[in-house]
Structure 1
Amino acid sequence: MLKQNILDRVQADPYAKFLGIEVVDLNEGFAEVTMTVQDSMLNFHGAANGGVIFSLADVAFAIASNSYGQTAVGINVNVNYMTAGKLGDKLTATATEITKNPKLGLYRMVVMNQDGDLLASLEGMVYRKKEQFA
């Protein structure tokens, strides 16, 4: 039931829907999402905009950190861009919980293309509110 509640929330998210992000997998403390780079996602160099890559990772981060049904909100994310994404690339982002306590959670995210090239590596922290949403 919790898993379906989170899936429903992500599928109703207007920004994730706008980007065409799809959920591949989710478990407690883990999420995997995909997206295909479209024309409208390119920067003036013809590469996938860094904000689009970040957004894909951020959706995975949000799913993984909220996977317990307790409201978690991002308070910090550090990103390292390694390789440019290209038009038509199928990007996959995973978010994996490193550690959590009642107030904070630390997550590692990676964004890869269909060839297994690392586009970005991120680390994010969430603050866990007292509210339960599921």
Structure 2
Amino acid sequence: MGQPAHDTTTAESQTPNTSTPAEAAPESPTEATTPSPADAPTEAAPELTGAAAMFANDRASQHLGITVDDHGPGWAQCSMTVTDIMTNGHDITHGGYIFLFADTTFAMACNYPGSITVASGGDIDFLKPTYLGDELVARGHEVIKQGRSGIYDVTVTRGDDIIATYRGRSRTLPARK
């Protein structure tokens, strides 16, 4: 996952990419070649900020296989495949995993570069069950942002079926002193 690919700054002017981008396989450290000093980059890689920085340290979401397909200020799209560890005693996906998935997408949408934004609350409605092996997509967008507070909606789908809707409330923290 890299920096946001879009320069939009308001939810009203955004057009999130809802198609699945072609994914390039990242080069593993064992396959990398050591560049010679002449091949070394002259500039350091840009420091991750906002959603990219937050996700880089989000071990819980990464452990569950959640991927960030794309994001920009005020919106995000993530994917997750239901694994056996995520199913409950009814052989359906435990609601807590669906909530976590939607909440991760919400976090990607509300963490603008340069800000640290956290959830002040969130609610979810489960509409249909999901099962082992289901591929889920969550799309979140900013409804409104006023000052340090915001409201974001996330729709979780399996194919054409909406399986859950989530509403998150955010609070941007003041800069550290």
Which one has the bigger helix percentage? 1
Q: Distance in 1 between matches of 2:83 and 2:150?
A: 32
The aligned counterpart of 2:133 is 88
Determine whether 1:110 maps to 2:155. yes
1:68, CA displacement in angstroms? 3.9
Moved more, 35-44 or 64-73: 64-73
Matched with 2:111 is 66
Q: Which consecutive aligned stretches of 4+ in structure 1 deviate over 2 angstroms post-superposition?
A: 1-9
Higher alpha-carbon deviation: 75-84 or 7-16: 7-16
The offset of 1:2, in angstroms, is 5.5
Q: Quote the Cα distance in structure 1 between the aligned partners of 2:104 and 2:74.
A: 13
Q: Which residue in the other structure is 1:119 paired with? A: 163
Q: Which structure has the highest strand share of the two?
A: 1
2:85 alignment partner in structure 1 = 40
Query: Offset of 1:128 from its aligned partner?
Result: 1.4
Q: Considering Cα pairs closer than 8 Å and 6+ residues apart, tell me whether 1 or 2 has the greater RCO.
A: 1
1:28 Cα deviation from its structure 2 partner: 0.7
Q: Is the 8 A contact 1:2 1:69 kept in 2?
A: no
Q: What do you get for the CA RMSD once the two structures are aligned?
A: 1.7
Residue 59 of structure 2 is aligned to residue 18 of structure 1: no
Q: How far apart, CA to CA, are the structure 1 residues paired with 2:140 and 2:72?
A: 10
Q: TM-score, normalised by structure 2?
A: 0.69
Bigger Rg over Cα: 2
Matches of 1:51 and 1:70 in 2, distance apart? 27
Q: How far does residue 73 in structure 1 lie from its aligned partner after superposition?
A: 1.1
Q: Does 1:129 align with 2:173?
A: yes
The runs of 5 or more residues in structure 2 that have no matched partner are: 5-47
Q: Match of 2:131, SS?
A: coil
Q: Kindly, what percent of the aligned residue pairs are identical? A: 31
Counterpart of 2:62, as a letter, is K
CA contact (8 A) 1:91 1:111 kept: yes
Whether the 8 Å contact between 1:7 and 1:23 is mirrored in structure 2 is no
TM-score, normalised via structure 1 length: 0.90
Query: How far apart are the structure 1 equivalents of 2:67 and 2:3?
Result: 18
Aligned pairs, number: 131
